Homo-oligomer: A and B are copies of this chain.
Amino acid sequence: MSTASVIVIGNEILSGRTRDENLAWLAVELNKIGVQLREARVIPDIEETIIKTVNELRSQYDFVFTSGGIGPTHDDITSETIAKAFDVAYICNGEARAILANHYGEENLNEARLKMAHLPEGASLIENPVSAAPGFMIGNVVVMAGVPIIMQAMFANIKNQIKGGKPVLSETLSIFLTEGIIAKGITEIQNNFPDVEIGSYPFIKNGRLGTSLVSRNIEQARIDEVVAKIKSFVSELGGEIEVIA
């Protein structure tokens, strides 16, 4: 099992102007490739904060994925800041420059656009099929754009280089009993199956209160055992069950 954290970089998320979509998307996609997302942070475009956060998280998790701040404008400081976090030079990457020259035309490669070819020394490029300017990977840190469509395309182009484990499987039982009624019995099942993570989430559907019980493990057989126990317990209480695979 590999572990990861996500850093969403951008004042616009913290000010409420932009609703982040990248965290939820990455949570799902990382799980598919057997990488467990352990923590996410949303931080502003402040050099000191970015350096501190990247260095703290890259030492704690197998991979760190960042989104945001790699464009051509004054508030795009992620690439230069990551170079400082790794204590390497921030240089014009020849391969990235060639991609941009091909995309914009050499004559249109102004200072702002050239900024997008400046990367930490030693970074390897992540292709951007949407708008050319590449993302990059350095050490265990994957640096991607903030625009969701571009971030997703970059992730598709890097994910084969991310060494994950077995994906965590899950099965959800949605039952029309409230958490307060089932908590004691579910706690007993959880205690008997400590390796299977049982999450309990209240919901309201068509005006009826209920609870979704999500069993998670890398082995389907263990999930099946827990689901059978939960079903049997709920039946005893006379609860109605909806299964969501």
- Check: A157 CB closer than 8 A to any chain B CB: no
Residue among B12, B20, B115, B187 making CB contact with A73, cutoff 8 Å: B187
Residue among B11, B111, B113 making CB contact with A197, cutoff 8 Å: B11
CB pair B15–A27 under 8 Å, yes or no, is yes
Given contacts A73-B200, A186-B73, A187-B74, whether A216 and B15 have CB atoms under 8 Å apart is yes
CB pair B37–A15 under 8 Å, yes or no, is yes
Interface size on A, residues (CB 8 A): 63
Report the separation of the CA atoms of residues A75 and B170 in the bound assembly, to the nearest whole angstrom.
16
Q: Chain A: interface secondary structure? A: mixed
CB pair B13–A183 under 8 Å, yes or no, is no
Which one, A39-47, A80-88, A89-97, A226-234, is touching chain B?
A39-47
Q: For residue A152, which residues in chain B have a CB less than 8 angstroms away from its CB?
A: none
Q: For residue A37, which residues in chain B have a CB less than 8 angstroms away from its CB?
A: 14-16
Q: For residue A170, which residues in chain B have a CB less than 8 angstroms away from its CB?
A: 15, 17
Residue among B14, B27, B115, B181 making CB contact with A40, cutoff 8 Å: B14
Question: Min CB distance, A45 to chain B, in Å?
Answer: 8
Report the separation of the CA atoms of residues A197 and B11 in the bound assembly, to the nearest whole angstrom.
9
CB pair B23–A198 under 8 Å, yes or no, is no
CB pair B74–A190 under 8 Å, yes or no, is yes
Report the separation of the CA atoms of residues A190 and B73 in the bound assembly, to the nearest whole angstrom.
11
* A17 to B, closest residue via Cβ: B214
Residue among B15, B75, B200 making CB contact with A74, cutoff 8 Å: B200
Q: For residue A71, which residues in chain B have a CB less than 8 angstroms away from its CB?
A: 179, 200, 202
Q: Give me the interface of A with B, judged by CB distance under 8 Å.
A: 11-20, 23-24, 27-31, 36-44, 49, 71-76, 104, 108, 110-113, 115-116, 131, 147, 168, 170, 172, 179-184, 186-187, 190, 197-202, 214, 216
